[in-house]
Amino acid sequence: MTIVSTASEEARAHLVRSMTDTGALTSPGWTDAFRGVPREAFVPSFQVRHGDQIDTLTAQDLGFHTAVYQDTSLITRWDACGTAVSSSSEPSLMARMLEAFTVTDTDRVLEVGTGTGYNTALLCHRLGEDQVVSIDIDPELTTTARRSLASVGYVPDLVTGDGTLGVGDRAPYGGILATCGVHRIPVEWVRQVRPGGTIVTNIGTGIVRLSVGAESATGGFLPDPAAFMIARPTPEQVAHRAASYTALVINGTGRESRIDLPDARDTRGFYQDLMEGCALEVAMAQYDVLSITLTAGDTDVYGLVHPDTGSWARIIPAGKSTADVVVGGPRDLWTERATLTARWIAAGRPGPGAYTLTVEPDGAHTLQREEPTTTSWRL
């Protein structure tokens, strides 16, 4: 069993108080789970990003327990290209998702994205290990998580496989909680949750809570933007890295134009909106487009890339309200992104909480926003 130090208990208690004070934790069941599960058992070593700097900590380092119980994501695994593919997520975000995961004490639940096993342990503490099924694509992660969970006394049903397919032979579930991002809600999840059950996951730049009906599922988003690492179809998959397309964005030749910015009153803010993808509707419509921000001398260069088609766009500010744009490939990524972003700005920059999502039996997604006027998109 894991030996829990006084430093760990004090740091954990402080984190729980902080999450309670901010409203991330509201129910006794999940509060007890965060009090009872030692996070350090699942992250014996990790990395924390501070801007461009990455710090590595292990249990032997001074301040380890303080760092473990910071309300931040702890990176534990990288792919071959240096992209983070597994982490222990920000505890307050985990808490908000768990609070939205309104299942009963007798429900069997499926967690998609075992990762370190920390969230799995919270589910086990709250619901009982016999009620928890968890799946991850990476056999090394499930092996390590199984060992970590056993060290704190939990033996849930861990499965190695593609979580986007669910785990059909253990269904039906009272709910599915995914600690990874998806571009679309898999219809298999909807089919494997009983009517009245709940699906909570990251899609686009928001966390959606869906209530499952007889065939479809519908629900709203939590108020604040959030994004997880996207689910991988295989453990060997290397994520697209924006840096590998830098040369294309800087040196590519294509169709040139000078354009007026849709939001000339706040040029830099518009570029941030354009590139950071904070608009839920933009992120869901252009989920397959990478954003790149570069600095060449005193000039900011913005790039968009669609790896599957080789389409790209280069945007260079040419004054307060204009920019020089070059696009290449079959998709005009600039026009797509600018149109979507301008519409979102005109609506008052609504956050994720302004939207609802419906997933139909055929997998079609309908995103809807009520303010300032009812607008919907079938994706």
Of the candidates 132, 179, 178, the one whose C-alpha atom is nearest the C-alpha of residue 154 is 132
Average pLDDT, the chain: 89
- Among 29-33, 270-274, 303-307, where is mean pLDDT lowest? 270-274
Q: Is the dihedral of CA 96, 132, 202, 372 positive or negative?
A: negative
Whether residue 267 has pLDDT greater than 90: no
For residue 311, report the phi and psi dihedrals to the nearest 5 degrees. -75, 150
Instruction: Please provide the DSSP assignment of 321-334 as one string.
Output: SEEEEEEESSS-HH
Q: 91-100 and 118-127 helices cross at what angle (nearest 10)? A: 40
With residue 292 as reference, give the H or E element that holds it: strand 290-296
Whether residue 3 has pLDDT greater than 60: no
pLDDT of residue 151: 97
pLDDT of residue 300: 84
Is 205 in contact with 226 (CB distance < 8 Å)? yes
Q: How far apart are CA 216 and CA 17, in angstroms?
A: 38
What is the mean predicted confidence (pLDDT) over 73-92?
75
Of the candidates 79, 74, 157, the one whose C-alpha atom is nearest the C-alpha of residue 116 is 74
- Determine whether 70 is exposed, middle or buried from the number of CB atoms within 10 Å of its CB (0-12, 13-18, 19+): middle
Q: Is 88 a catalytic residue?
A: no
Q: Which residues pair with 53 in a beta bridge?
A: 50
Q: What is the DSSP letter of 277?
A: -
For residue 15, report the phi and psi dihedrals to the nearest 5 degrees. -60, -45
Which domains does the chain show, CATH number per domain?
6-221 (3.40.50.150), 242-346 (3.30.160)
Length of the chain counted residue by residue: 379
Catalytic residue chosen out of the listed positions 89, 92, 148, 311: 89
Whether residue 344 has pLDDT greater than 60: yes
For residue 205, report the phi and psi dihedrals to the nearest 5 degrees. -110, 25
In this prediction the pTM is: 0.91
Whether residue 97 has pLDDT greater than 80: yes
Reported as a single tens digit per residue, the pLDDT across 289-300 is: 998 888 877 788
Q: How far apart are CA 191 and CA 159, in angstroms?
A: 19
Whether residue 52 has pLDDT greater than 80: no
Reported as a single tens digit per residue, the pLDDT across 179-217 is: 999 999 999 999 999 999 999 999 999 999 999 999 899
Q: Which residues pair with 324 in a beta bridge?
A: 258, 316
Of the candidates 209, 178, 186, 213, the one whose C-alpha atom is nearest the C-alpha of residue 352 is 209
Q: How far apart are CA 193 and CA 38, in angstroms?
A: 30
- Binning pLDDT at 50, 70 and 90, where does residue 373 land? confident
